[in-house]
Amino acid sequence: MRDLSALFDPFALNGLTLPNRIVMSPMGRNFADDGVQPHGFVDYFVRRVRGGVGLCIGEASRVDHPVASSDVMHAAFHGDAALAAWKDVVDAVHDAGGAFMPQLWHAGLLRPPASDHPQIPNAHLPPAGPSGWAEPLVHTTGWITPITRAAQIGVPMTESDIADVIDSFARAAADARRIGCDGVNIHGAHGYMIDQFFWDRTNRRDDGYGGDLIGRGRFAVELIRAVRAATAPDFPITFRWSQWKQQDYHCKIAHTPQELEMFLTPIAEAGVDLFDCSTRRFWEPEFEGSRLNLAGWTKKVTGVPTMTVGSVGLARSNWMDGEDFSLTDSGLASLDPLMERLEAGEFDLVGVGRMLISNPDWPKRLRAGQTDGIRPYSNAHLMTLE
């Protein structure tokens, strides 16, 4: 096995210094009771910090916009009870020597019509999105009824609607700072609200929030600026983005490095301290003619630090094309390709998901060379907050 010491170098992110490069990626667990996380989440995160994780990012948590979520089991990041539960997590993570950021999220048009799903908060209200256009999902996930074809299921958001959503993210970020979080992770990926503005198939607007790459990025730019204004200059803002969508694994917002630079530069300049670059398989090149992955290209064109993510440590990658979803387990894979890219400076942090579900002490085991004790991933491990 290649030397792993680079994984354990400290990293400075705006006003925050992380003890190593290993980040617990945001992973939706859906254990909330009307948006409030159970107390078991305290131990869930603390076990990962004691196991060597430098930064934990919470699961997608809805902002306080009335149609931000599609299920009462989704975590909320607003309201006294939900924020008190998150503060318990933050305090315990700090006591254990780690850092914590919530992930702020709005489902947009991946909130189905209320008639399809009785567990929707504020079920009497229609979903919101840039143009009202939704795309079909690739597969049925169990918590959302897939649209069978591209359809207009709502009306375009007005500029007042857009301002309301932006204000909701700003309030959530201010609350995160108030309860002691070490920054925020803004969810701009996977076909949710912010990403719906990015994608020309769901953003069919003809005003300043649509059209070309600059216009489709405007909503995110204004949102990030509002988050920065509501917090502080040294409060880390990380931004999760992806080319792929739940509706189209092969989608690309930017088809060339030049388009990527045009698209991401205004978003970076709005106040992003780190891009969390979501891919299904971290080792895949983003564009022909270069081995750089999405995190590598994002860092190259913006100069902003990046985090890679996508099946780290797993022999069976995430969301394989044509995947049989009854295949729920994965064996272990070499970290040599990851380390080669990290040592080359392609990205700065490494987001880890399923390996940390199955192995809360994965970083400590790696550092101690105790890889024989690492458990393969199984979906059975999702049934509890171990």
Select which of 44, 192, 209, 377 is catalytic: 192
Residues 303-314 as b/e (b if ≥16 CB within 10 A, e otherwise) read ebbbbbbbbbbb
Backbone angles phi, psi at 283, to 5 degrees: -80, -5
Q: Which amino acid is at 297?
A: W
What does the alpha-carbon distance between residue 68 and residue 105 come to, in Å, rounded to a whole number? 7
Cα angle: 300, vertex 305, 311; to 5 degrees: 90
What does the alpha-carbon distance between residue 298 and residue 260 come to, in Å, rounded to a whole number? 8
CB 19 within 8 A of CB 63: no
Burial of 69 from C-beta contacts in 10 A (0-12 / 13-18 / 19+) = buried
What does the alpha-carbon distance between residue 326 and residue 100 come to, in Å, rounded to a whole number? 33
What does the alpha-carbon distance between residue 238 and residue 137 come to, in Å, rounded to a whole number? 26
What does the alpha-carbon distance between residue 227 and residue 224 come to, in Å, rounded to a whole number? 5
Helices (H), 179-232: 193-198, 213-230
Say how many Å lie between the first and final Cα of the chain, rounded: 28
Annotation says 192 is catalytic: yes
Beta strand spans in 322-365 (E): 329-330, 349-352
Both tokens of residue 98?
A: 């780690």
What does the alpha-carbon distance between residue 241 and residue 270 come to, in Å, rounded to a whole number? 15
Catalytic residue numbers? Answer: 192
